[in-house]
Chains A and B, each alone.
Chain A
Amino acid sequence: MQIKVPEELARYCGGREVWQLEAATSAAAIAQLVDRFPDLKQRLLGSGGRLMAHLIVFHNGAVLAVPERSQRALAATDELEIMFLASGG
């Protein structure tokens, strides 16, 4: 599967926004990425290892509701994208 992080966080994961991983669930994918790039942890995960509230996750282009974020099963061709939800202006 493919996982994409916000452009602003690419420098914490080898300068790339997009990574190919083998993961069965969205939680496993995020955990793998954080294991590989520990600097991402404080920028993605809050208390109890949950994804922080200012982030939103899309699975194959569709937003995942908060309860689904960690449980969504993934196929090998699936795409997961993490974006910042908060903004202003």
Chain B
Amino acid sequence: MIDQVPGAAAKPDDFEFSRYHIDLAAASVRSERVRCQDLDDVLGGIARGFKGLEQHPVRDAYDPQAVLLMTLGILSGTQFMTGLRTYFLAYSPLKRSRSGLPSAMWSAGSGKFGTKLRYLGIDEMVMTGRSAKPVLLHIQADPDDPAAAPQFRFEDAEFLVGRLVNDKIQTLHQRYSPNAHYAVIGPAGENYASARFAAIALSTENQLKSGDPKPRFCGRGGMGGIMGSKNLLAIVADIKDTRAASADNFTELNKEVARGPGSARFRDDATDGLGGTWANFVALNDQHALPERNFAPTGTEASVPLYRQHVQETGNYVIKDESCYRCGIKCHKNVYDIGEDGKAGTFRAKLDFEPLNLLASNLGIFDVDQACTLVALVDEMGLDSISCGTTLSYAMEFNERHKADGQAQVEGPFYGDFESTHKAITDIGEGRLELLGQGVDRMATELGEMTYAMHCKGLELPAYLPQTNPGYPWALAGGHMSMRTFLLLLFERETGMDYWVDAITNPDKGLIPLRDDIIGICKFATLNHDQMASALTALTGLEIDAGTLRDLIMRTFLRGYRLEKLQGMTPDDYRLPSESHREYPEIDLPHFNTEEFFAELHQKVIDTFDRLLEEHDLGTQPAPALA
């Protein structure tokens, strides 16, 4: 927990946080207590993380001196429900400007790892350097004085090399105390040079108890590759649970999170088994707006067998709603083979909307058994399922368009072909398929066909059609995690210019996801600004209201936007794949995102953000870009 100086009136510079500098090359650790300069520092997460990144520009994401930053939000590891987030920030090996420079990126994950770091008194870790040998970082409380600063040990990790994600975590679980939780990379992170979308996996209580592969992932932007480039295979956060920080209104707010209307759409208990993002299959396919075959809906019923209801009706599976640590939403839809007793047997996969769509119907695969196998394989390889799925669908589309001219890859992957898809995923994770492992942007550049390469700024698009979402290019860290415009057309059916400029630039609409990635909670908590402000005020004593949070969101976005510019981004970087502007008659939603519409929107959004950037004082000046 960030500490307030005793007896002081609550203002941001009365708070301090702990920062640990980890030098992997020298196997050394230096700690400091840092006095907060502003609210951004106190609330932490990506707000403070951006401030750190802008002081450490790089030209190569895998430069040993490149920073891998770990931050927690103010609510991470507290008793606030869903306050489980850990953030990894770095210059991404995937996200880039057209100049080729890597761009600032973050990825968030739940699990219990962040909570353990909070118990250890760690608010931030700044990791640099590259270990000569595979290493793990073992962090534990001082056994003689649990309140003292944590102890760091660099330990040989040769025994982890090549293991799959769950094998790594279970092996560590056998070796270390039952109190420990883990951040690990999979084979993809070890093969970072040819797999640019590697994830960091964070262990969960359920995973350690069951032995099943159920970690949570910091998936987007290749943070696992950054960790791998430092030869850091795992971080062990080893401490007994202690009493987490709380505030007097947390109990009431937690009830709202667990039982209130905001989270109802994610909960089976509120929706009679419809909860969770899996429901998007029905919602989007009803309008033929579900990505199929590289984001080109077929207008058919092909994806219907992947609806949750139909998967249940096969009688082959048990679908359980399970939860993160101490979370009442229970959004996870974990699929098991049905046992002889009718109960859950072997765990197959956690089916969220994005992995299921991007690793199945968007690849022309409509068999749920095959889908479970592919989703689980991607997780076990430690790959980001969104980037992996969208890269595969591009490769399949390329092969489809070139099957007659000899340019198609002989081994695939091909639409609807489970075997070639399975092989491609394995080869990407194990570093044998660099053409695909470098992601859509670089692959399409190499193949010379960009028009259907579904990415913005090098980050592959998530499972919502770019045809219906002109906001994608301004997402800082992945199209749906950091720009909430992806369902607006379905919900509101607005096609006006003013509406979309506002939607993209408004801290209550498009930019709202940034709030939760500052303070450390899951987006599924879905509390409004007033509720969140009351929680933060109760915890810190700071005067925070809805307006404060709106300002914080805008400031954080603008700092990220400035970081993009510092790494070479120009207006030309904020583009959609050109084929997403053409009309798709199969989609039962208005066609409005034409090239002409987008050109005007582009100018207006850029003008708005540039004006806001001039108007806002973002505090400390960033370090100049490297020559």
Contact = CB atoms under 8 A, between A and B. Distances in A.
B462 interface: yes
A86 B487 contact: yes
Interface in A25-53: 42-43, 46, 52-53
Interface string A58-89: 10000101000000000000000101111111
A14 B524 CA distance: 29
A54 B286 contact: yes
B283 A54 contact: yes
B165 to A, nearest CB: 22
B574 interface: no
Contact of A63 (B274, B277, B280, B282): B274
Contacts of A18: none
Contact of A56 (B265, B463, B493, B523): B265
A6 B274 contact: no
Given A8-B491, A84-B265, A89-B481, A56 B280 contact: no
Nearest to B275: A85
Interface residues of A, number: 21
A8 B277 CA distance: 19
Nearest to B528: A7
A9 interface: yes
B480 A86 contact: no
B493 A85 contact: no
Contacts of B27: none
A44 to B, nearest CB: 10
Interface string B283-319: 1111100000000000000000000000000000000
Contacts of A85: 265, 271, 274, 279, 282-283
- If over half of B's interface residues share one DSSP class (helix, strand or loop), that class is named, otherwise mixed; here it is helix
A39 to B, nearest CB: 9
B272 interface: yes
B354 interface: yes
A9 B493 CA distance: 10
**Which one of A6, A65, A81, A86 has the highest number of Cβ atoms from chain B below 10 Å of its Cβ?**
A86
B354 A52 contact: no
Contacts of B462: 88
Contact of B286 (A6, A52, A81): A52
**Which one of B271, B283, B486 has the highest number of Cβ atoms from chain A below 10 Å of its Cβ?**
B283
A57 to B, nearest CB: 11
Contacts of A84: 265, 487, 491
Given A88-B354, A89-B523, A54 B491 contact: yes
A53 to B, nearest CB: 4
Contacts of A46: 286-287
A54 B289 CA distance: 12
A46 to B, nearest CB: 7
Nearest to B266: A87
B464 interface: yes
A53 B265 contact: no
A43 B493 contact: yes
A53 B307 CA distance: 12
Nearest to B285: A53
Contacts of B492: 8-9, 43
Nearest to A47: B588
Contact of A88 (B264, B285, B286, B487): B487
B29 interface: no
B512 to A, nearest CB: 10
Contacts of B354: 88
Given A88-B354, A88-B462, A89-B524, A53 B491 contact: no
Contacts of B279: 85-86
B490 interface: yes
B324 to A, nearest CB: 14
A53 B283 contact: yes
A6 B266 CA distance: 16
A8 B493 CA distance: 11
**Which one of B285, B287, B463, B513 has the highest number of Cβ atoms from chain A below 10 Å of its Cβ?**
B287
Contacts of B250: none
Given A65-B272, A83-B265, A88 B491 contact: no
B274 A86 contact: no
Contacts of B353: 88
Contact of A89 (B283, B493, B513): B513
A53 B308 CA distance: 14
A56 B286 contact: no
A85 B513 CA distance: 18
Contact of A83 (B261, B280, B463, B523): B261
A85 B263 CA distance: 10
Contacts of B264: 58, 83
Contacts of A89: 277, 480-481, 484, 513, 523-524
A61 to B, nearest CB: 9
Contacts of A9: 491-492
B286 A87 contact: no
Interface string B242-284: 0000000000000000000100111000111010010110111
B261 A88 contact: no
A87 B274 contact: no
A9 B487 CA distance: 13
Nearest to B462: A88
Contact of A87 (B280, B282, B481): B280
B279 to A, nearest CB: 5
**Which one of B271, B286, B464 has the highest number of Cβ atoms from chain A below 10 Å of its Cβ?**
B286
A87 B277 contact: yes
Contact of B274 (A8, A42, A56): A56
**Which one of A9, A56, A85, A89 has the highest number of Cβ atoms from chain B below 10 Å of its Cβ?**
A89
Given A83-B265, A86-B284, A88-B464, A56 B491 contact: no
Given A86-B284, A87-B277, A88-B354, 5 more contacts: A56-B271, A87-B487, A88-B280, A88-B480, A89-B523
20 contacts: A43-B491, A43-B493, A54-B286, A54-B490, A56-B265, A63-B274, A65-B272, A84-B487, A84-B491, A85-B274, A85-B283, A86-B279, A86-B487, A87-B265, A87-B487, A88-B277, A88-B462, A89-B484, A89-B513, A89-B523
Closest 4 pairs between A and B when the two form their complex, measured CB to CB: A54-B283, A53-B286, A86-B283, A89-B523
Interface of A: 6, 8-9, 42-43, 46, 52-54, 56, 58, 63, 65, 81, 83-89
